[in-house]
Structure 1
Amino acid sequence: MIVFIPLILFSVLLNATAQLLLKKGMSSLGELSLSLEFILRGVLNPYIIGGMGVYAVSIVSWLIVLAKVNVSVAYPFLSIGFVFSAVVAYFAFGEPLGGLKILGIALICLGLVCLTMVKG
């Protein structure tokens, strides 16, 4: 299982990066609207296009992970995406990162260390 951790991390970080790109793109569009003009700006937004592309690559890499690793081991690694996105959102978007979030991030990391130590 440990041999697949780089692939798992690659896939999870791609997924989180895609979400951050989509957030940046949607934030740049202004007030949410169902108007044709808003939809066209969204469809043509480079952050949204990039986010969708990165998300597609993350899906393909995750399918490879699922083919090689037990889902009970692989799936919890998605929580690394929470850690990554919380830290990046703090710096990139000014989102709060208080003590309880930091404690939660530490607990997630501890849980993942425990998971990697399990044989099988």
Structure 2
Amino acid sequence: MWPFYLALAGGIVTGIGGQILLKTGADSETILQQLLRPQTIIGLMLYGMAAFLYILALRKIPLSVAFPSVSLSYAIVAVLGYVLFNEPFGVLKIVGLVLIVAGVWLINQG
């Protein structure tokens, strides 16, 4: 069963990488320039790889566990947004992220 959880984790990490690359490609003047930036292209490729890994994980992991687990990426991306892009990070955001992580932990206990 662990290979499927490894695929899920890989999908989450790959999706996070894609999100960060899309953000770095987002400073172009036009949509066309943004779409043609290497960061955007690689970010979209990573999203495709994340979807493939997620499909592999779904072969054995219940959807009711796998899909909520992907929300861990929200928490990780929020922290990376603060660290890498100096995005705001207040107490309410921290509380919300703790609730997300706690919810994923609870779902995976069953």
2:40 is matched with: 48
Quote the Cα distance in structure 1 between the aligned partners of 2:46 and 2:55. Answer: 14
Aligned counterparts, 1:40-119, within 5 A: 41-118=33-110
* TM-score, normalisation: structure 1: 0.82
- Contact 2:18 2:42 survives alignment (8 Å): yes
Q: Is the 8 A contact 1:90 1:96 kept in 2?
A: yes
2: CA distance, partners of 1:73 / 1:42 = 35
Name the counterpart of 2:17: 17
Preserved contact between residue 22 and residue 44 of structure 2 (Cα < 8 Å)? yes
> Structure 1 stretches of 5 or more lacking a match?
none
Instruction: Describe the SS at the equivalent of 1:67.
Output: coil
Q: What value does the CA root-mean-square deviation take over the aligned residues?
A: 1.5
Contact 2:16 2:73 in 1 (8 A): yes
Measure, in 2, the Cα distance between the counterparts of 1:5 and 1:99. Answer: 31
Aligned residues: percent identity?
A: 30
Q: Which amino acid aligns with 2:54?
A: W
Q: SS state of the match for residue 59, structure 2? A: helix
Higher RCO structure (Cα 8 Å, ≥6 apart):
1
- Structure 2, gaps ≥5 residues long: none
TM-score by length of 2: 0.89
Shift of 1:66: 1.5
Displacement of 1:51 after TM fit? 0.3
